[in-house]
A and B are shown apart, each in its own frame.
Chain A
Amino acid sequence: MDTSQGSGSNSSDFVRKLYKMLENQTDENVVRWGNEGDSFVVLENEKFTKHILPKHFKHSNFASFVRQLNKYDFHKVRHNNEENGQSPYGAGAWEFKHPDFKMNNKDALDNIRRKAPAPRKANPQPDELMIPTQQMDLVNGQLVATQAQLQQLQHRYDELSIHHSMLLQEVIGLQKTVVNHEHVMQNVMSFLHTVDAQRRRDSRLGNPFGPQQNGAPAQNGNVETQTSQVTPLEDDIPASPLQHASKLLSETNADVMLNPRNLEQMNEMTLKMSGTLTTPPPELLRHARPASRGPPSAASSTSMRLGDIDSLVYPVGQTNGIDPMYSEHINNIPYPMPPKQPETQDARFQDPARKKSTQVDPGWVRAPQILLVEDDPTCRRIGSKFLYAFHCAIDSALDGLEAVNKMNAGSKYDLVLMDIIMPNLDGVSACHLIRQFDNTPIVAMTSNIRSDDISMYFQHGMNDVLPKPFTKEGLLQMLEKHLAHLKKPLAQGEGMIAPQPLSATRQILKEEESPAKSPNTASNWNSPNQVPGISPVSTVTDDYVQTMGHPGAYAVNPIAQGQMGYNTSPQMQIRAQQQAAQAAHAAGHRRQISDISGGDDLNNAAKRQQMYNAPIPPQQMNIQQRPR
């Protein structure tokens, strides 16, 4: 602290004050020179602290006085070696010594210097140190250790930040690869459509009511498809496995589900936040980007070409009656055309349903089905109105009994908002009953939110509590929390980069791969999506995966792979292979792959492709699609 001072005037302030204090003989009975004059003794600690210290040092803290002494290398004189182990000055006396601090030797004071602040070597002889000093050293040591720890943590943090941004890059790259695969698959599909159309035409020319395996071509009448550009679709129906494949493909559309923007944004934020230290190694950047950059432009350019032709041909919405099971789907498949530069495209522009208005659109994949259980008409109406504003489909029940009956009768909801105090059957009992057969998330809506109330709600199977009177924001938060799996990852634009969209995506992907095993990634309760037969995704997939087992399917793999001329991770390839196999099998179901002739009617197939590409708001589809 005052080392610089000390070097200016020869002896330090403190030492001079100390000397001066001892020169003053009036306090001799409290503090004085030692008998030999080479030490000084504090005889009466208390008086010294109270009266002398303030006089000379402007404080009354004996410990700090001792600390100061220690800093100047004074040492307490111990008397352990003497016969009785007692200080000659009395039991309570404190004797301090410094080789250069001597009575009548004022000049030597100049040699008394403040010790260098090196906490480590401060106690070469710990025995001689005073207790306060030891504590000081202890604290010092802890401080140093903490600093070291902090430094370590900082290092670790830097390291992790770098890893994080590396992983982000990697994930972005992977996402782009998946999107590219999607585009390749689209091309494969369009090619298979061509083949299919060719086959159908061939068979029709030969024998219009020939041995087709599927019902769809049988109703293909006599109209010639080849020439007419305005041919109604009923006359040119693709093989139904092919339709399934297309549909599946469109449902797992990576363009929609994997939104690199979120990650890129996250990436930018990490870069911004951590400033200089987390610039990922350049080779990584190079690694991640070009791998995905090249192919998509190729793929998209083809698609664009096809799209240009197609837009002339099939107006959206003329596809009714193609497949009795899935007509709405096909009609509404959200299959946006691959834009010229998919990696720069702002995902929000992909969604035409998203409109700016006072109504908040949380961006659902489909309208969530909400059951509002509330006996009070005012609350019920306002709650419904809010839910409606959040693009939810609402059903209401007036009391717990009605709610249980509705759910027991098989109505499926994505979320139940449950008042607690209601006539006939209260919300907690209702929840308890519902839990016997259903796992739909149930949120208690109540003004009774004492902690014991709340724990009681949870005990009976409630998933959350929304305090009354609820606000629009509170309600929306609840919806977003419990319906994260229904959120479109790309509609998440509001500066929120939660990992939710990713996990939701992963869940869908997983479902696609193994519909039997329901992943619980997105949330800790069982989402209704996992109940077989409810979610359109899982039912369809289920249906589809059955056809996958066909042995002939894998014969086509090389062809599919041949079209993907770029490097991907093994998993991606497997996935792509599966998809290719599915698609190919869909075609192969009716015709052998050897029948592929390439053919001049690529356009024809491309036209058909267009109807899957039609960018239609997914929400619309889902409203229709959902069985009520």
Chain B
Amino acid sequence: MAEDRHDGDIMSIPGATDSIDAATFEQILEMDDDEEERDFSKSIVYDFFTQAENTFGKMDTSLEEKNLKTLSELGHFLKGSSATLGLTKVKDSCEKIQHYGQRKDETGTKDLASDDEALKKLAAAIKQAKTEFRDVEKVLRKFYHDDS
């Protein structure tokens, strides 16, 4: 029923296809009572924006403090919510952050040589995550007709 028609298919927005998992995101859209307002999904997505910004802020601080453990936890935290929303790219980067924070390689299988190596990789991964977040944020804001 809900699949029949979305007002504006999010996947038609440029950049959506590779950063958003359609099935996951659409099952959240289906929960919207009003397909015009989309109060429910919109508030979740916008809360996620705030949550992500906060988390990135904490990541920057932890990176300066070289706190690998916290970085791993933050990565895991943001991984969970981005995965739930189907924001695959952000999720993948967050997973890397989680692994690097544990001094493992990006798949979490091999140990990294040193904290320094981990931090170097973390800095890159956080940067990547931020970029990917900005990209998908644009797509989502467009979807919710937010031009700010």
Flag the segment in A125-133, A382-390, A573-581 that touches B: A382-390
Minimum CB–CB distance from B136 to chain A (whole Å) comes to: 14
Q: Are B83 and A468 in contact (CB under 8 A)?
A: yes
Closest residue of chain B to A381 (Cβ to Cβ) is: B44
Chain A residues with CB below 8 A from B51, complex form: 377-378
Minimum CB–CB distance from B86 to chain A (whole Å) comes to: 7
> DSSP class of B's interface residues: helix, strand, loop or mixed?
helix
Give a binary string over A462-488; 1 marks a CB under 8 Å from any B CB, 0 the rest.
000000111110000000000000000
Minimum CB–CB distance from B68 to chain A (whole Å) comes to: 16
Q: Are B81 and A376 in contact (CB under 8 A)?
A: yes
Interface residues of B in 15-49 (CB under 8 A from A): 23-24, 27-28, 30-31, 40, 44, 47-48
Minimum CB–CB distance from B7 to chain A (whole Å) comes to: 16
Q: Are A389 and B80 in contact (CB under 8 A)?
A: no
Q: Are B86 and A469 in contact (CB under 8 A)?
A: yes
Closest residue of chain A to B48 (Cβ to Cβ) is: A378
Q: Are A382 and B84 in contact (CB under 8 A)?
A: yes
Chain B residues with CB below 8 A from A376, complex form: 77, 80-81, 84
Chain A residues with CB below 8 A from B79, complex form: 447
Interface residues of B in 64-107 (CB under 8 A from A): 73, 76-77, 79-81, 83-86
Q: Does B113 contact A (CB under 8 A)?
A: no
Q: Which among A378, A389, A470, A471 is the interface contact of B81 at CB below 8 angstroms?
A: A378
- A469-B84 CB under 8 A given contacts A377-B47, A378-B51: yes
Name which of B47, B80, B81 has the most chain A CB atoms within 10 A of its CB: B80
Chain B residues with CB below 8 A from A135, complex form: none
Q: Are A378 and B1 in contact (CB under 8 A)?
A: no
Minimum CB–CB distance from B98 to chain A (whole Å) comes to: 9
Q: Which among A357, A385, A469 is the interface contact of B31 at CB below 8 angstroms?
A: A385
- A468-B84 CB under 8 A given contacts A378-B44, A378-B47, A382-B44: yes
Closest residue of chain B to A374 (Cβ to Cβ) is: B80
Q: Which among A377, A389, A421 is the interface contact of B76 at CB below 8 angstroms?
A: A421
Name which of A379, A381, A389 has the most chain B CB atoms within 10 A of its CB: A381
In whole angstroms, how far apart are the Cα atoms of A472 and B27 in the complex? 7
Name which of B40, B76, B81, B84 has the most chain A CB atoms within 10 A of its CB: B84
In whole angstroms, how far apart are the Cα atoms of A461 and B31 in the complex? 32
Minimum CB–CB distance from A418 to chain B (whole Å) comes to: 13
Q: Does A35 contact B (CB under 8 A)?
A: no
In whole angstroms, how far apart are the Cα atoms of A588 and B84 in the complex? 61
In whole angstroms, how far apart are the Cα atoms of A40 and B44 in the complex? 89
Q: Are A379 and B80 in contact (CB under 8 A)?
A: yes
- A379-B84 CB under 8 A given contacts A385-B40, A386-B31, A447-B79: yes
Q: Are A389 and B31 in contact (CB under 8 A)?
A: yes
Closest residue of chain B to A422 (Cβ to Cβ) is: B77
Closest A-B pairs by Cβ, 3 of them: A378-B81, A469-B83, A469-B84
Provide a sorted-by-A list of 20 A–B residue pairs whose CB atoms are within 8 angstroms. Answer: A357-B1, A358-B1, A358-B2, A358-B30, A376-B80, A378-B51, A378-B85, A379-B81, A382-B31, A419-B80, A421-B73, A447-B83, A468-B80, A469-B24, A469-B80, A469-B83, A469-B85, A471-B23, A471-B24, A472-B30
Please name 10 further chain A to chain B contacts, defined as beta carbons within 8 Å, in addition to the given A358-B1, A377-B47, A468-B84, sorted by A numbering: A357-B1, A375-B77, A378-B44, A378-B81, A379-B84, A382-B44, A385-B40, A447-B83, A468-B80, A468-B83
